[in-house]
Structure 1
Amino acid sequence: MIQQRRKGIYLAILGSIFWGIQGPVSQWLFTDTPIAPEWLMGVKMGLSGLFLLGYAFSKQPKTVTAVWRQPRDAGRLLAFAILGLSAVQYAYFLTIQASNAPTTTILQQLGTVMIIIISLVIYHKTPNRTELIAVIVALLGTWLLVTKGQLTQLSISGAALGLGLCLGFSGALNTLIPGKLFQKYDTLVIVAWAMLIGGVLFNVIHPFWVDAPPMNMPTIISVLFIAIFGTALANLCFLGSLNYITPTTAGLLNTFEPLAATIGTVLFLKTSFNHWEVIGGLLVISTVFILSFGNRRGISKK
C-alpha cells in the first residue's frame, strides 16, 4: 500500500515538473524565435492528442469512441475541448509571451479562486469561511506579485495581468465543464480527444505548414519537449497518479509546477524576482493548501 502511494506521489510530481518546465521552454521560443502561440498550439495539441489517443486505444480500444455515441456527451466534450482545454492552454502561452513563465504559472493557480466566484455568481453557492480566506489570500498574493509591493505601480503590463485573469477563468472552466464526462468515461480518453480537437482547431486558425517558422535543432527539441513531455507525458503521469493517490493529494503536489517553472526560468533564462514577488507567489500557491485542509476538516466533522 505504501509503495503504491509512493508511486502515485512520484507520478504526480513528475507530471507537475514536466508542466512547469514547459513554461520557460515556451518563454524561450516566444522570445528568441519567430514561433507564434497559435502555431505552437496546433502542433503541441495535435501531437499530444494523437499520442494520448493511441495510448488509450492500446489499453482499451472498445471505450475510445464511446463518448461520440451520446450526442449530449459529445457536445460537452466539444465544449471542454474549446472553452476549457484549448482556452486555458492558449491563455497560458499568451500570458507567458506578455510576462514570464513563473508569473504565468502562479496566476494559473487563480483558477481555484475563480471556481469559488463562478459558483457564487451562477450557482448562488455562498463560499464558506475557508473559501473566503483563500480568496483574500489569493488576491493579496496576486497584488504583491504584479506590483512587487509598490502600491501604485504594476511590475507586469496591464495586458499580462488581463491575460492572467483570463487564464484563471479558463482554468476554472477547464475544471468545471468536464466533471460529468470524467465520472462517466475514462479521463485519459476524454483529455486525449480534447487535445486532438484543440489541435485541429488551431491548425484551422494557423496551419502548421503555412508560414512555418525556421527550424534548427534547439527549436525542434524545444517544440517536441513541449508536445511530448510538457503536454502528453505530463497529463499521462498526473492522471496515472490518481490510480494510487487521492485528487486532493495530487492537487497539492501540483504546486511543484510553479516551483519547476521558477527554477527553470532563473537558471536558464536568468530572470530575477524580488522578495515581494516571491512572497506573493507563495501566497497564491498556499490557497491550494488552505482549501485542501479546510475541506479535509469539513469532511472529518461530518
Structure 2
Amino acid sequence: MNSAFLLGAGLSVIASLCWGGLAVAVQHLFQQGVFQPLELSCLRLLAAGAGFVLIGFAIRAKNMGCVFRSWRDLREIALSGVLVYMAHLTFFFAVYYSNAGTGAIFLAFTPLITALWLSLAEKTPVRLLESLCFVLAAGGVAFIVTDGDFTTLKFSPLSIFWGIASAFSAVAYALVPRKTMQRLGVTAVVSWGIFFGGIASTILVNPLAVAASVNWTPMAAFDFGYIVLMGTIVAFWCYLKSLSLISPVAVGLIVCLEPTSAFFFSILLLGEKLGLVQCIGVAMVLANVVILTLCRR
C-alpha cells in the first residue's frame, strides 16, 4: 500500500478526531453561555495563531522568516488566513439561520466541490471511486445529524447562502496554500495563516474586551485550551500536511469522519444517545474511508 497515502489518510483521521472533540467543547461553552460564536472564533484564531507562530520559530525559525521575503508567499498565506476566518464565520451564520445539522450538510458537499473545482482547473474527470465515496460520506453525515428525521433540517434563503459560502470557503482554504506549503513547509503556512485569520477577525470583535468579560471557570479554561491546542493547532497542521501527501478530494472525504467523532465524544462526555439511523450513518462514513484506503493498494 502507498505509504504516503496511508500517512496522509492517518493525518486526516487525526484532524477529524480533533475537530470532533472541538465540536463538543464548543457546544459545552455555548450551553454554559461563556461565549458567543463570533467571540469564540476570534479568540480561538488569535490564541492558536500566536501559539503556532511561537512553535514555528522554535522548530523552524528560518522557514518562518522566509514568509516575509516574498510578496507572493505573504499574499497567499494572508489570503489563506482570511479564508480560515471566512470558513468559520459563514458556518456560524449558516447555523444561526438554520441549525447545526443543516450547517453540517452543507460542509459535507466540500469533497464534491473540490473534485469539480480540480476537474475544471486540471482538466481531469472526477473518478468513479471518489463519486461513490462522496455519496457514502454525504449520506452518512445526513443520517448522523438528522437521525433520519429530515424535517429537522431548516432551509431558508439566508441559510442556503451562508451554507454554500461556508462550503466554498472551506474548499478554497484547502486549495489556495498548497503550492506555498511545498515551498515553505506546512508549519510556516498554517501558523501565519491562522494568525492572520485571527487579526482579520478583530474587525468584528474586540478580543481584549471579550477576554476580560469571560467567566474563566476551570472547565471553561479547559474547553478553550482544548479548542486552541487540539482543535486548531494540531487539527489544522494535520489537515494541511495531509493535503501535501494525498488528493484534496480524498482528504475532504476522510474528514467527513468529523461529525462521527463528534457524536462519539458527545455520547462519552455529554451523555447523548446514538439512534439506529445514526448508527447506519456512522457505518456509511466509515465505509467511505475504508473503501478509499483499500482501493489505494
Tell me the TM-score normalized by structure 2. 0.77
Kept in 2, the 8 Å contact 1:81–1:197? The answer is yes
Q: 2:215 matched to which residue of 1?
A: 214
Q: Are residues 178 and 221 of structure 1, via their aligned partners in 2, closer, same or farther at CA, if it must alter by over 3 Å?
A: same
Equivalent positions of 1:117-196 (< 5 A) are 117-120=116-119, 125-145=124-144, 148-149=147-148, 153-158=150-155, 162=160, 165-196=164-195
SS in 2 for 1:215: coil
Q: 1:230 matched to which residue of 2?
A: 231
SS in 2 for 1:65: helix
State the distance in 2 between where 1:191 and 1:90 align. 18
Displacement, 1:267?
2.7
State the distance in 1 between where 2:246 and 2:229 align. 23
* Worse-matched range after superposition: 32-41 or 153-162: 153-162
* Worse-matched range after superposition: 54-63 or 126-135: 126-135
Q: 1:271 matched to which residue of 2?
A: 272
- Give the partner amino acid of 2:234: L
- Give the partner amino acid of 1:119: L
The number of equivalent residue pairs is: 285
Taking only aligned residues, the RMSD between alpha carbons, in angstroms, comes to 3.8
Displacement, 1:273?
3.8
C-alpha distance after superposition, 1:195-249 (max 9, x if no partner): 1011111122101223533332322221122112321233456677899xx547x
- Give the partner amino acid of 1:207: N
Q: Any stretches of 5+ residues in structure 1 without a counterpart? A: 298-302
Displacement, 1:143?
4.7
State the distance in 2 between where 1:8 and 1:80 align. 21
State the distance in 2 between where 1:238 and 1:215 align. 30
- Give the partner amino acid of 2:86: A
Displacement, 1:191?
0.3
Tell me the TM-score normalized by structure 1. 0.75
Q: 1:88 matched to which residue of 2?
A: 87
C-alpha distance after superposition, 1:112-171 (max 9, x if no partner): 222013235666543232233234334544554565435xx4223336974555443322
Q: 1:72 matched to which residue of 2?
A: 72
Q: Any stretches of 5+ residues in structure 2 without a counterpart? A: none
- Give the partner amino acid of 1:209: L
Displacement, 1:24?
0.5
Q: 2:21 matched to which residue of 1?
A: 21
State the distance in 1 between where 2:267 and 2:38 align. 26
Kept in 1, the 8 Å contact 2:105–2:138? The answer is no
Q: 1:59 matched to which residue of 2?
A: 59
- Give the partner amino acid of 2:179: K
Displacement, 1:190?
0.4
Q: Identity of aligned pairs, percent?
A: 21
Kept in 2, the 8 Å contact 1:106–1:258? The answer is no
